[in-house]
Amino acid sequence: MEQIKTSFDFEKPLAELVQQIEKVKQVADKTKVDMSATLAELEEKLEQTQKTLYSHLTGWQKVQMSRHPERPQTLDYISMICDDFIEMHGDRTVGDDKAIIGGFATIDGKTVMIIGHQKGKNTKERQYRNFGMANPEGYRKALRLMRLAEKFNKPVISFIDTMGAYPGLEAEERGQGEAIARNLLEMSVLKVPILCFVVGEGASGGALGIGIGDKVYMLEHTWYSVISPESCSSILWRSWDYKERAAECLKLTSDDMFENKLIDGIIKEPLGGAHQNPEQMAGTIKKQILDDLKTLTKEKTEKMIATRIDKFCTMGVVVEG
């Protein structure tokens, strides 16, 4: 936990234990007294507190975790998972949307097309990337790259991490709704395997625009919903003060989504979240990618597409008894 630079209110007990451990170490260094027994006891207590805390996070706490400023983003995962990456730009109509990146990459000798949201790590980067909120040209760029992957028979991997599609007037004028709807239609019948990973925030159509796949996974401390808790709270209660309650009502956590059969699996994060050990997190995702590609590439194209369509068509269907 020493690596944490930003901690949330619910992590205060951990911060206090880390502080105690540091004090004991300082005393041991100064006095040259053997404090190993005390240190071992405190470290064991820290580990137990971590396990208890992170296995019982509320919906709102998971939303906070997904927004941690040090949490790995698409480019981080690409650098850790892929042997190489050639970024491709532009939708060939309007321009190049920096909020969505994509290009061909190699993973253990296998060529894939990787597409994902990129929020940026600092203020300058976030402005450059529009905080990961894509315009229509971003989704049209993604679709162009998917069609390219289909042409060369290469699997598509998408990393989802967005607060939503950009809601500006210009985006609506250029057909934001149509661009997302077109991606849903085209992805559902794409003739190559598609793997989707929610690695941070998964908000509304902005996430769905690159979220139709044969396998859809969520990292343990992420969320996926039609609306953010703050926006939901402001609509229902005319205030952001009820965001915690909204988060619970929306059932947006990975556990809720898996229970409701809206995703195919949950990928466990390192203790304390993906930002605590990005390399371990990337290794887990890489293993999942390789395992799934091994299975999906053996399937007949027609069967794979039919299974993909059936999976999404059965979502939200209510059968009255």
Please answer whether residues 137 and 93 qualify as being in contact, where contact means their C-beta atoms are separated by less than 8 angstroms: yes
Alpha carbons 268 and 277: distance in angstroms, whole number: 12
Please answer whether residues 40 and 28 qualify as being in contact, where contact means their C-beta atoms are separated by less than 8 angstroms: no
The DSSP element (H or E) to which 283 belongs, if any, is helix 278-296
**Could you tell me the pTM of the whole model?**
0.91
Alpha carbons 127 and 136: distance in angstroms, whole number: 17
> Which pLDDT tens digits describe the chain residue by residue (321 residues)?
444 445 788 888 888 888 888 888 888 888 888 888 888 888 888 888 888 999 889 999 999 999 999 999 999 999 999 999 999 999 999 999 999 999 999 999 999 999 999 999 999 999 999 999 999 999 999 999 999 999 999 999 999 999 999 999 999 999 999 999 999 999 999 999 999 999 999 999 999 999 999 999 999 999 999 999 999 999 999 999 999 999 999 999 999 999 999 999 999 999 889 999 999 999 999 999 999 999 999 999 999 999 999 999 999 877 776
Instruction: Report which of 91, 117, 260, 101 is spatially closest to residue 182, judged by C-alpha positions.
Output: 91
Instruction: Report which of 168, 167, 155, 68 is spatially closest to residue 119, judged by C-alpha positions.
Output: 68
Handedness of CA 229, 230, 235, 238 (dihedral sign): positive
Please answer whether residues 59 and 255 qualify as being in contact, where contact means their C-beta atoms are separated by less than 8 angstroms: no
Q: What's the distance, Cα to Cα, between the start and end of the chain in Å? A: 51
> What contacts 299, CB < 8 A, 6 or more positions away?
193, 307
